[in-house]
Structure 1
Amino acid sequence: MLKYKNLFTPTKIGSVELKNRFALAPMGPLGLGDADGGFNQRGIDYYTERAKGGTGLIITGVTFVENEIEGHGMPSCPCSTYNPVHFIRTAKEMTERIHAYQSKVFLQLSGGFGRVTIPTNLGEYPPVAPSPIQHRWLDKTCRELTVAEIKTIIKKFGDGAANAKRAGFDGIQIHAVHEGYLIDQFAISLFNHRTDEYGGSLENRLRFAREIVEEIKDRCGEDFPVTLRYSPKSFIKGLRDGALPGEEFTEKGRDIEEGIAAAKMLVDYGYDALDVDVGSYDSWWWSHPPMYQAKGLYKPFAKLMKENVDVPIICAGRMDNPDLAAQAIEDGSCDIISLGRPLLADPDYANKLRQGRTQDIRPCISCQEGCMGRIQEYAILNCAVNPQACRERVTAYNPILNKKKVLIIGGGVAGCEAARVLALRGHQVKLLEKSNQLGGNLIPGGAPDFKEDDLLLADWYANQLNKLDVEVAYHTEADRETVLKAEADTVIVATGSNPRTISLGNNENVYTAAQVLNKEVDPGQKTVVVGGGLVGCETALWLAQNDKEVAIVEVMDELLKNNGPLCHANSEMLENLIPYHGIEVITGAAAEKYQAGSLKLKVGSEEQEINCDSVILAVGYQEDNQLYEELKFDVPDIHLLGDAKEVANIMYAIWDAFEVANHI
C-alpha cells in the first residue's frame, strides 16, 4: 500500500488534469534562456528532467512578455514575444518531451520587476514602477509607467500566452500579485500612489491584474488555464524593512483582510488557481525562506485562501517533508504541493517517494548558495548539493573504460560526493574516515534545530555509499605509509580543515564553535562568540534560542563580511535575528585576553571588558593538506578536494568533488 497515496491522486486546474499533487515551483530560469528569448538546451533538459522524475505539473520560472519598457539584458530569462517563432520552436521541443512523461507544463509570464530589479542580473536600465517610489536595491527613484505603457504590457501578455499555447504549454501562470513584483506594486497602496484608473481603490489597484487575465482568456479561450502567484500578506514594516516570524509590527504592505478581499476579486476576474506564498522583496526571507524559517511556513496562509475562494490552491514553502505535504492535502490546506529548491536538489523526488525510497531523496539544505545566491551574483540558477541541476547534459555521468581502484581519505561532503560518483560510474572505492561517522563539518553545522537538513544530507550520503557498496573504514586515520601500502590507482585527499584558534592567555574555558555545537563542552550561561561570520552568527543564534546570554565580537566593521555570496534572504534574516534574540554585537573589536571570567577587548583605541563564563572561537578554518603535501610526488594520480584544498562552502566542496570524480 502506497504510504503517501493522497499525494499521487489526480487533480485538475480548470480543464487540465494533473496526474499527481506535485508541482515544480517557479524559480528564475537565469542561464536557461538564449539571446533570442527561447529556451536553450540547458533549460529544455532541466525542465524535462523534473517531469521525468515524476512531477505532475512543471511551472517554468519567470519569462518576460516585453523587453522595451523594462529592458532586460539578453540572454536573460526567456521572452515569448522577443522572437516568437524562435520561442515557439525551442519551447515546443521542451513541452513535447515533458508531455512524454504524462506531466503538464505552464509558462510563467511576468509583467516585470519594477522597483525590485536586481541590478547585477537585468542590466543598467531605468527602473519603472507604478509611481515614483524608492528602488529596493538602488538609491534611485523609479519612473512612473504611463497608461499607454500599461496597455502595451497587457497586450503583450495576450501575445505571449498565445505563443505559449501554440508552443504546447498547457496553461499560464502570471507573475505576479506576489513578492512585490511590478503587478504586485500596483496592487499595494504603499507603492501605488496613482490617481488614475490604476490607483486608489483596491479594485483600481487590481485593474492591471484583471485586464491581464481578461486579455489572455480573450486570446486563448476560457478553457486555457491562467493561474496566479499570489501573496495574501507582505510582512513589510517599512521600505527595505521586513518583519520576523512572531514579531509584532504594523503591516505596511498587504495585510490578511485585504489579502482575502483581493483573492476573491482575482478569482472572480477569471484566475483558475492561486499559487500561495507570503512576503515581499522588503521581507525577502519570507518569499525565499532560509533554514531559519519553519518548514511549511505558507501552509496556514494557503488554508486561509482555500477557505475563502473556490479554485485550486498551490502551496510551496519548505514543503519537502512528505508527512507535512500529505497532511496539507488531507486537512484541506491546499490541493497541490509546490516544490522549488527540493526539486533542484533531487529531480526524482516524486518518483522516489511513490516507490517508497524516501531515504534516497537528496535533501535541500536551504542554504540558497547554489540557487538565489548564484542568481543574484552571477545570473545563473544551480544547486549547492546537486551539481547536475541546470547542467544535466554537460554533467551526465561519464562511462568508464578501465575500472580503477580509488582510495579516498576523508568522509566529509567532498569525500562522500567523490565516493558516490566514482561508485556510480563503476570504480572500486574505499574511503577512510578518522571519526565514527560521515559528514565532516555537516555534523557540528547541523547541531542547531534550524540546520536539521545538514544532518539529513550526512545521512543521505551514508545511505548512498552503503547502497553502492563503498567500503568505508571508520576510526581510521591515514598516513603516508597507509596510503602507499593500499596501492590504489588514484588517491583523493579530502582531509578537510581545522578550526583556527587564537591565544587569549591560558585558554581555560576557551572553546571552538565545533566543540560547543557538538556538545563536547558546556559554555555556561553567559558566553562571547569571537567571530561574526556565518559559523559565529549561527552558533550565537542557536545559543540564544536556548536561553543563553550571548555577545558577538567581530574585528571587522560588520557581521558576515567574510562570507559570500550569501543569498540576501539568508544574510538579512540572520542579521535581523541577532538583535531580535537579544544578542549583543560589538564590531571593530579585537579580543585580546580572557582571564578570571573577563574578556578584554580593544575597540578602536579604547579597551573594554565583558564578563562571561566562556569564550567561543569562530575565527575561520585552516586547510588540512599535510597528507597531500607528503604524497603529491609519490602518487601518480592524486587529487586534493574540499576544505583541504581551499576552505569555502558546502557547494564548492560538492561541485569540485563531482567534477573530479566524474572524470577519473
Structure 2
Amino acid sequence: MDHSILFSSARIGSVQIKNRYVMAPMGPLGLSDAGGGWSQRGIDYYVARAKGGTGLITTGVTFSDTDVETHGVGNVPLSTFNPPQFIRTSREMCERVHAYDAKIFLQMSAGFGRVTIPGTVGDAQAVAPSAIPHRWLDTTCRPLRISEVRRIVESFGQGARNAQKAGFDGVEIHAVHEGYLLDQFAISMFNRRSDEYGGSLENRLRFAREILEEIKSRCGADFPVSLRFSLKSMIKDWRDGALPEETFEERGRDTEEGIQAARLLESFGYDALSCDVGTYDSWWWNHPPMYQKKGLYRAFCKVVKQAVSVPVICAGRMDDPDVAAAALSEGDCDMIGLGRPLLADPEIVNKIRSKRFDQVRPCLSCQEGCMGRIQHFAALSCAVNPQAGRESDMALTPLVGAPKHVMIIGGGVAGCEAARVLALRGHTPELFERTERLGGNLIPGGVPDFKEDDHALAAWYVTMLAQLGVPVHLGSEITSEIASRGDFDAVIVATGSVPKVFSLGDDERTFTAAQVLLGERDAGRRAAVIGGGLVGCELALWLAMNGTHVTIVEAMSRILALNGPLCSANRDMLERLVPYNGISVITSAQAKSYADGILTVETSDGAQKLPCDSVILSVGYRENNALYEKLASSAPEIYLLGDARHVSNIMYAIWDAFEIANHI
C-alpha cells in the first residue's frame, strides 16, 4: 500500500507539521526534576521521538495548579510551580526537538478528580464536580468550589504563557476525555451542579471554554490549543464499562451528545481534537489492551471529523502503516497518533518512511512497562524497550578491550535480547536454540489472534539478529559437555522454564497450555483449564472464541490475582471477557481427580463433577536451570537469564537480558 499520505504535511492552527504523525500523550511519570521542570531523562525521551521522525510531539500530562489538587513536585512537570526552572528545562527540550524539524505541544491538565490513581497524587480528599464516588477508592469526592475552578482556569493561562516563552509550539488541554476532571464536568452522570458549571451541555463545557479563553488571552489567538476528547464514554454503571460489540445503555456521554460537544468545542475556538472513546470506568477503551482490535477508534473519529472542520487526530493501536494510511485516505481523521508504539520503537516513523517496517520493534499492548508501571511504581517505560524513558541512563556501554565470544544457550526473548545487545556493542555472540524456531514462549503465547504481536516480536528478533550477523543455530541441544568444549569467553544460559504438571488420573487427556496452543493436542468440545492466571485466562478466551466450552478452575479467590505489574485496563477487560464469552469460573477450588471424562473439583461447597473432554494445566512454570547448575562452577564467566533465573514475564526477561548484555 502507498504510505505517502502519511508523510504529507498538516496544520494545526498556525503551526505547520511536516508529516501526519503525532506522538500521543502518555503520562511522563519519572521524567520531571525536583524543581518541577523536565529531568534530563524527560528531555532525552522526547528528543529521541523527534529524532525518530515524529512530526508533532505531545508531552504527557503536566499541571499548572497544585493547590486544588495536590501533585508532588518531581512526579510530573509543573508549569507554574517554579517558572524559571520549568522554562529553562523546557527551552532546552524544545530547541533540541526543533532541530529535527518536529513541533512540540505541552499537554496541560485540569486534574484527575475522581480518577486519581493512589500513589501518584497527594493524600488529600479527591475533588470532583459533585459529591460522587471515587473510581478506585471507596470514598466520596469533595465538590469543587467556583473559586477553585477559577483558580485552575487562571493557572492554565500562566502555565501556557510559560510554555510559550519556553518555545512550545502550542498546548493540548487534558481533557474532555477519559473521565478526567474536565470530562467529569462535561458528563451529566458526574456533574450534578446547579450553578453556571452544571445543567446544560454548554454549562458543563464552560470550564473547558474558560480555559481556552484564558490561554488565548495570554498567548494570543494564533497560539494553537488542541483538546483531548472522547466522543463516547462506554459506561454501563459506576466502575462498570462496556465491551466491544456489547449492547448496553450509555450512562455517560453518548454519541449524539458527543457530536454536540465536539461542535461546541470547535465553536469555542479549539484548534484540533485528539479523539478516542471511553473513561476510567471503561479503561480498556482509552488504554486498549491486545484484546481490542487495531485501529479501534477509526469509526468514532470519523463521526467527529464529519461534525467539525478542525483537524482530528486518531490514535489507538495505529502502528500498522496500512491501517494508518487507510484512515487518512478514507476520511476517518487528519493525523495519526502513536503512543505506546513510540515507546517500543522511537524510530518507527522514520522506519515506515524508509520502508523498513520489518525492523520496527512491535508494541505488545501488554501495558506492563507503561501503564502497569505508572500505576504501581509511578514510572513510565516499555516492556520491550528497556531504554524508553531512560535513553541516556541505559545507553549502550562502549566496548572496552577485545570483543568477547559469547555462547548464548536458549532462543527465547532473553537469549535473543542478549544476543542483539552484545552484537550492537561489538561482541561476538553465538546463539543456540534446541527447537527449530526463535521466540520461546512467544510462539505458543502468540497463537491467539489477539496476541499476534507476540509473533511479531519473535519475527523482529529474527530480523535483527540476521541483520547484525549473529550466528543462530536452531535444533541445537546444548549439553554441559558441548558448552565446556566450546571456544567461548562467556556463557549466557537462557534455557527458559517448563510448565508445572501433575497427574489427576487420566494423563492421556491432560495437556499443557502450550500443547493445546501449538495444536499438538485437541482440547475437544469441553475443556477444563486449571489455573486462572494470565496464561490460563487467555487460553480459555481463545478456546471459547473457537467454539470450546471452557471452565476455569482457580485455587485463589479470584482470577488474575498474581500477575503484575498488570495494567488495570488489561486485567479488567480480560476479567469481563471471560464471562462475556460464556466461560465458567470456579474459584477457591482445587482439582482432585480426572477419570472417565469427569473432573472432580473440591470447593468450599463440596465436590463438583465437571464433564470435560480434556484438562489443560496452566498452573505456572518452573525454572529450567539444570544446565546452568552444571556449568556454574567451571565456566570462567557465566550468567543466568530470563525464566531460567526466575519465572516472570516478557518485560523482565528483556530488561534483565539488556542489563547483563550491556555490561559484559
Normalising by structure 1, what TM-score?
A: 0.99
Counterparts of 1:115-514 in structure 2 under 5 Å? 115-401=114-400, 402-514=402-514
Cα distance between partner residues in 2 of 1:156 and 1:114: 17
State the partner residue of 1:27: 26
Higher mean C-alpha deviation, range 601-610 or range 245-254: 601-610
Could you list the per-position Cα deviations for residues 346-375 of structure 1 after superposition, in whole angstroms to 9, with x for gaps in the alignment?
A: 000011111111110000000000000000
Structure 1, unpaired ranges of 5+: none
Cα distance between partner residues in 1 of 2:73 and 2:492: 41
Cα distance between partner residues in 2 of 1:241 and 1:549: 25
Cα distance between partner residues in 2 of 1:358 and 1:134: 45
Cα distance between partner residues in 1 of 2:506 and 2:325: 55
Cα distance between partner residues in 2 of 1:605 and 1:357: 58
Cα distance between partner residues in 2 of 1:323 and 1:611: 46
Displacement of 1:605: 5.9
Tell me the secondary structure at the aligned position of residue 230 of structure 1: strand
Amino acid at match of 1:59: T
Displacement of 1:123: 2.8
Could you list the per-position Cα deviations for residues 435-479 of structure 1 after superposition, in whole angstroms to 9, with x for gaps in the alignment?
A: 000000000000100000000000000110011110011100101
State the partner residue of 2:93: 94
State the partner residue of 2:63: 64
Tell me the secondary structure at the aligned position of residue 658 of structure 2: helix
Normalising by structure 2, what TM-score?
A: 0.99
Cα distance between partner residues in 2 of 1:122 and 1:447: 39
Cα distance between partner residues in 1 of 2:156 and 2:409: 56
Amino acid at match of 2:172: Q
Tell me the secondary structure at the aligned position of residue 508 of structure 2: coil
Could you list the per-position Cα deviations for residues 606-647 of structure 1 after superposition, in whole angstroms to 9, with x for gaps in the alignment?
A: 111100100000010010000000000100110000000000
Displacement of 1:502: 1.5
Cα distance between partner residues in 1 of 2:34 and 2:527: 54
Cα distance between partner residues in 2 of 1:172 and 1:121: 23
Cα distance between partner residues in 2 of 1:252 and 1:192: 12
Cα distance between partner residues in 2 of 1:265 and 1:441: 50
Identity of aligned residues (%): 63
Displacement of 1:506: 3.6
Amino acid at match of 1:102: D
Higher mean C-alpha deviation, range 556-565 or range 240-249: 556-565
Counterparts of 1:3-82 in structure 2 under 5 Å? 3-82=2-81
Tell me the secondary structure at the aligned position of residue 283 of structure 1: helix
Displacement of 1:284: 0.3
Displacement of 1:430: 0.6
Cα distance between partner residues in 1 of 2:538 and 2:369: 20
1:515 aligned to 2:515?
yes
Could you list the per-position Cα deviations for residues 171-228 of structure 1 after superposition, in whole angstroms to 9, with x for gaps in the alignment?
A: 0000000000000000000000000000000010000000110111111011100000
How many residues align? The count is: 663
State the partner residue of 2:612: 612
Cα distance between partner residues in 2 of 1:604 and 1:106: 56
Cα distance between partner residues in 2 of 1:445 and 1:258: 41
Displacement of 1:142: 0.5
Cα distance between partner residues in 1 of 2:348 and 2:613: 46
Cα distance between partner residues in 2 of 1:162 and 1:238: 39
Displacement of 1:124: 1.1
Tell me the secondary structure at the aligned position of residue 157 of structure 1: helix
1:109 and 1:172 in contact (8 A); partners too: yes
Displacement of 1:563: 1.0
Displacement of 1:505: 1.2
State the partner residue of 1:601: 601
Amino acid at match of 1:457: L
State the partner residue of 2:621: 621
Cα distance between partner residues in 2 of 1:607 and 1:351: 60
Cα distance between partner residues in 1 of 2:566 and 2:663: 29
Amino acid at match of 2:369: G
Cα distance between partner residues in 1 of 2:122 and 2:378: 11
Cα distance between partner residues in 2 of 1:578 and 1:605: 22
Cα distance between partner residues in 2 of 1:556 and 1:120: 26
Runs of 4+ off more than 4 Å: none
Displacement of 1:74: 2.1
Could you list the per-position Cα deviations for residues 402-461 of structure 1 after superposition, in whole angstroms to 9, with x for gaps in the alignment?
A: 211000000000000000000111111110000000000000000100000000000000
Structure 2, unpaired ranges of 5+: none
Could you list the per-position Cα deviations for residues 463-499 of structure 1 after superposition, in whole angstroms to 9, with x for gaps in the alignment?
A: 1001111001110010111111112101000000000
Tell me the secondary structure at the aligned position of residue 564 of structure 1: coil
Tell me the secondary structure at the aligned position of residue 523 of structure 1: coil
Cα distance between partner residues in 2 of 1:5 and 1:355: 11
Could you list the per-position Cα deviations for residues 287-313 of structure 1 after superposition, in whole angstroms to 9, with x for gaps in the alignment?
A: 100000010000101111111100000
Displacement of 1:34: 1.4
Root-mean-square deviation over aligned CA pairs? 0.7
Tell me the secondary structure at the aligned position of residue 122 of structure 1: coil
Amino acid at match of 1:366: S
Amino acid at match of 2:442: L
Amino acid at match of 2:532: G
Amino acid at match of 1:282: D
Tell me the secondary structure at the aligned position of residue 396 of structure 1: coil
Could you list the per-position Cα deviations for residues 228-258 of structure 1 after superposition, in whole angstroms to 9, with x for gaps in the alignment?
A: 0000100000110000001110000000000
Cα distance between partner residues in 2 of 1:101 and 1:248: 47
Amino acid at match of 1:67: T
Could you list the per-position Cα deviations for residues 363-406 of structure 1 after superposition, in whole angstroms to 9, with x for gaps in the alignment?
A: 00000000000000000000000000000001111111221100
Cα distance between partner residues in 2 of 1:115 and 1:121: 13
Cα distance between partner residues in 1 of 2:496 and 2:478: 13
Cα distance between partner residues in 1 of 2:562 and 2:98: 46
Tell me the secondary structure at the aligned position of residue 558 of structure 2: coil
1:446 and 1:455 in contact (8 A); partners too: yes
Cα distance between partner residues in 1 of 2:302 and 2:148: 36
Higher mean C-alpha deviation, range 70-79 or range 274-283: 70-79
Cα distance between partner residues in 2 of 1:487 and 1:609: 58
Cα distance between partner residues in 1 of 2:292 and 2:352: 24
Cα distance between partner residues in 2 of 1:608 and 1:169: 64
Cα distance between partner residues in 1 of 2:127 and 2:526: 50
1:3 and 1:356 in contact (8 A); partners too: no
Tell me the secondary structure at the aligned position of residue 281 of structure 2: coil
1:540 aligned to 2:540?
yes
Tell me the secondary structure at the aligned position of residue 120 of structure 1: coil
Tell me the secondary structure at the aligned position of residue 66 of structure 1: coil
